Amino acid sequence: QVQLVESGGGSVQAGGSLRLSCAASGVSYCMGWFRQAPGKEREGVSTINRDGSTRYADSVKGRFTISRDNTKNTLTLQMNSLAPEDTATYYCAADGSAWPCRVMWGFEYWGQGTQVTVSS
């Protein structure tokens, strides 16, 4: 069982930046960020495997950067050039295998989420 705790959400104006962090209670091979806006399905934002390989949703490429510290079991999402459509609850996710990171689906462990609100 891996517990995940997100932090760093908040409110920002369009064009601004936020940095999300996730603290994991144990080691996971694959970690990622997902988001869910009101009335929409949860979508994958970015994933990173323990070997450092990453994937990004097309909507965030060039604006968001995912990273992890394997020594501290932490995950970070640096979000720049934020837009109102980035408004959502952001969730940290983790899994013991590499496959969920490749397909951005099927994660076993989830955090409670942190709210990100971007105003125009």
The phi, psi pair for 26, rounded to 5°, reads -150, 180
Q: What is the pLDDT of residues 61-115, one digit of tens each?
A: 999 999 999 999 999 999 999 999 999 999 999 999 989 998 999 999 999 999 9
- pLDDT for 115: 98
Of residues 61, 81, 72, 80, the one with CA closest to residue 31: 72
Give yes or no for residue 35 having a pLDDT over 90: yes
Residue 27 pLDDT grade (very low, low, confident, very high; cuts 50, 70, 90): confident
Percent of the chain with pLDDT over 70: 100
Percent of the chain with pLDDT over 90: 94
Integer Cα distance of 90 and 114 in angstroms: 5
- Position of tokens 């490749």? 102
Tokens of 11: 């409110």
Q: Phi/psi zone of residue 24: left (φ > 0), alpha (ψ -120 to 50 degrees), beta?
A: beta
Give yes or no for residue 56 having a pLDDT over 90: yes
